[in-house]
């Protein structure tokens, strides 16, 4: 998923934890997966991901942070790599096929990935890749230290563990996370004991978290009933909860092209925020008042120069107004800061194409394919860009494109030996 609010929130949360972890690398690749399942992962290469559905099982940001701190500990101690090495010695062919299938699933080619797992008896191999109790204890211990040093509540880890056990108990199936991270009552008790050694702290539940959790509910649980359900909740909501619910109702109005209704809903928000201001401009622009929306967005950019939701909205409204050059400039800057976001690359390609910049259009489309796991298509688009650069005698871009093609080609080839 490439929802700007989700991606920015995830980035902020991870990079708040990283400085207090034992991780030796800071250039991480962050992935948000469109799945209602409870899961998070971190694997060699600095890839850290969460299922969007993880938010459905958490009560606040601290609990999400506890899961991520645990994953960063696995990554810093090379637990996954050590498990893979052990499994490689047992059955290298099966393991290679499984890992390839996992990559396909994580990069959006779900059907092919699932087929690959089915044909290699994934259940058996998954048990080999499940973290050992020793690794889990170490990740719990180091994760707790990272969590507390980063300013989150120590009680969040045992609370999240209890939520996971409840999910397994009441929903009748084992969450994805617990299939590779065995959780016992002893681990919950140990986490509670460690938390007791630290001073208590108020847990966090930001406006962003409230909005994202409501979006997850609407996406995975409520569906067409979301508007009715959120309206019912308004009567008993606290002020902060009420603002998040009003935001979601206005967001649903935007999705259903009820622009005036959405604007009227936002007027009821008690404490306006950057997100409510952005949504207001989206509603205005969609209703035909693009100039007014652009003026307000420019004012907001002065106050919030590094906001992904704001910048991406600004680029979208610019493009809708026909200002492809400025939209392209904004999107190029965003792809530098968020290179793993496929939606940004796709928008950049479309805007560059409308500007008749065929080199950039093909390059951006190549990155879109690459970030969605389609390396062959990515390589072909880069070759198209290289040919165009040759036609335009643009040696600098030609050399840069060839260097990028080498990186992608290496990723396609099977490992030596």
User: Which candidate, 82, 33, 51, 66, places its Cα nearest to that of 177?
Assistant: 51
pLDDT for residue 179 is more than 70: no
Residues 23 and 159 in one domain: yes
Residue for token digits 């211990």?
141
Domain end: 288, 317, 350, which one?
A: 288
Output the domain CATH number for residue 30. 3.30.2010.10
CB contact set of 94 (below 8 Å; sequence gap of 6+): 120, 121, 125
Residues 75 and 179 in one domain: yes
What would the mean pLDDT of 186-198 be, rounded to a whole number? Answer: 87
Supply the pLDDT for residue 124: 45
Distances (CA, A) of 121 to 99, 101, 115, 392: 13, 12, 10, 52
Supply the pLDDT for residue 100: 59
Domain membership of residue 20 (yes or no) is: yes
Task: Rounding to the nearest 10 degrees, give the CA dihedral for residues 282, 288, 291, 292.
Answer: -60
Domain end: 196, 225, 242, which one?
A: 196
Domain membership of residue 22 (yes or no) is: yes
Domain membership of residue 403 (yes or no) is: no
Q: How far apart are the first and last CA of the chain?
A: 35
Domain membership of residue 16 (yes or no) is: yes
Residues 69 and 181 in one domain: yes
What percent of the chain has a predicted confidence (pLDDT) above 90? 59
Q: What is the number of other CB atoms lying within 10 angstroms of the CB of residue 171?
A: 11
Lowest mean per-residue pLDDT among 45-49, 150-154, 261-265: 45-49
Residues 178 and 100 in one domain: yes
Domain end: 196, 215, 240, which one?
A: 196
Domain membership of residue 147 (yes or no) is: yes
Residue for token digits 């007014």?
292
Residues 140 and 245 in one domain: no
Residues 229 and 93 in one domain: no
- pLDDT tier at 89 (50, 70, 90 boundaries)? low
CB contact set of 299 (below 8 Å; sequence gap of 6+): none
Supply the pLDDT for residue 226: 96
Instruction: Report the run of H or E that residue 21 belongs to, with start and end.
Output: none
User: Which candidate, 112, 116, 108, 107, places its Cα nearest to that of 43?
Assistant: 107
The side-by-side arrangement of strands in the sheet containing 40-43 is 29-33, 47-51, 40-43
Q: What is the pTM of this model?
A: 0.83
Residues 147 and 176 in one domain: yes
Distances (CA, A) of 238 to 201, 243, 244, 245: 21, 9, 10, 10
Supply the pLDDT for residue 372: 85
Residues 90 and 233 in one domain: no
Supply the pLDDT for residue 27: 78
Contact 330, 308 (CB under 8 A): no
Residues 180 and 53 in one domain: yes
pLDDT for residue 307 is more than 70: yes
Domain membership of residue 270 (yes or no) is: yes
- pLDDT tier at 171 (50, 70, 90 boundaries)? low
Supply the pLDDT for residue 44: 77
CA 274, CA 243: separation in Å to the nearest integer?
Answer: 12
Domain membership of residue 296 (yes or no) is: no
- pLDDT tier at 147 (50, 70, 90 boundaries)? very high
- pLDDT tier at 231 (50, 70, 90 boundaries)? very high
pLDDT for residue 135 is more than 60: yes
Residues 80 and 154 in one domain: yes
Residues 141 and 263 in one domain: no
Residues 93 and 227 in one domain: no
Supply the pLDDT for residue 47: 84
Supply the pLDDT for residue 78: 66
pLDDT for residue 344 is more than 90: yes
Domain membership of residue 335 (yes or no) is: no
User: In total, how many domains does the chain have?
Assistant: 2
What is the DSSP-derived secondary structure letter of residue 414? Answer: P
Q: Which domain holds residue 218?
A: 206-288
């Amino acid at each position: 998923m490439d929802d700007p609010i989700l991606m920015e929130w995830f980035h902020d949360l991870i990079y708040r934890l990283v400085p207090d972890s034992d991780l030796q690398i800071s250039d991480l690749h962050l992935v948000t997966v469109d799945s209602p399942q409870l899961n998070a992962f971190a694997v060699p290469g600095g890839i850290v991901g969460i299922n969007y559905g993880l938010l459905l099982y958490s009560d606040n940001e601290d609990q999400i942070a506890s899961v991520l701190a645990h994953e960063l500990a696995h990554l810093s101690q090379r637990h996954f790599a050590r498990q893979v090495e052990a499994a490689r010695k047992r059955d290298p062919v099966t393991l290679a096929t499984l890992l390839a299938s996992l990559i396909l699933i994580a990069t959006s080619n779900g059907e092919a990935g699932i087929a690959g797992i089915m044909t290699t008896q994934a259940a058996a191999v998954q048990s080999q890749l499940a973290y050992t109790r020793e690794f889990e204890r170490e990740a719990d211990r180091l994760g707790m230290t990272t969590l507390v040093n980063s300013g989150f509540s120590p009680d969040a880890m045992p609370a999240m563990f209890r939520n996971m056990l409840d999910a397994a108990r009441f929903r009748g199936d084992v969450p994805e996370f617990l299939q590779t991270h065995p959780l016992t009552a002893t681990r919950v008790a140990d986490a509670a004991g460690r938390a007791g050694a630290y001073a208590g702290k108020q847990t966090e539940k930001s406006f962003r978290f409230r909005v994202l959790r409501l979006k997850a509910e609407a996406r995975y649980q409520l569906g067409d009933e979301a508007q009715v359900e959120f309206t019912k909740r308004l009567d008993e909501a606290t002020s902060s909860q009420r603002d998040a619910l009003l935001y979601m109702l206005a967001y649903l109005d935007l999705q259903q092209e009820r622009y005036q209704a959405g604007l009227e809903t936002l007027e009821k928000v008690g404490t306006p925020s950057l997100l409510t201001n952005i949504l207001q401009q989206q509603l205005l622009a969609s209703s035909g008042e693009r100039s007014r929306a652009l003026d307000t967005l420019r004012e907001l950019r002065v106050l919030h120069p590094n906001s992904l939701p704001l910048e991406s909205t600004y680029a979208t409204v610019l493009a809708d107004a026909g200002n492809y050059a400025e939209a392209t400039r904004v999107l190029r800057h965003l792809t530098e800061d968020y290179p793993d976001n496929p939606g940004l690359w796709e928008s950049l390609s479309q805007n560059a194409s409308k500007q008749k910049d065929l080199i950039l259009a093909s390059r951006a489309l190549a990155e879109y394919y690459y970030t969605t796991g389609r390396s062959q298509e990515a390589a072909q688009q880069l070759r198209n860009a290289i040919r165009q650069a040759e036609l335009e005698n643009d040696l600098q871009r030609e050399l840069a494109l060839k260097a990028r093609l080498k990186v992608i080609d290496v990723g396609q080839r099977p490992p030596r030996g």
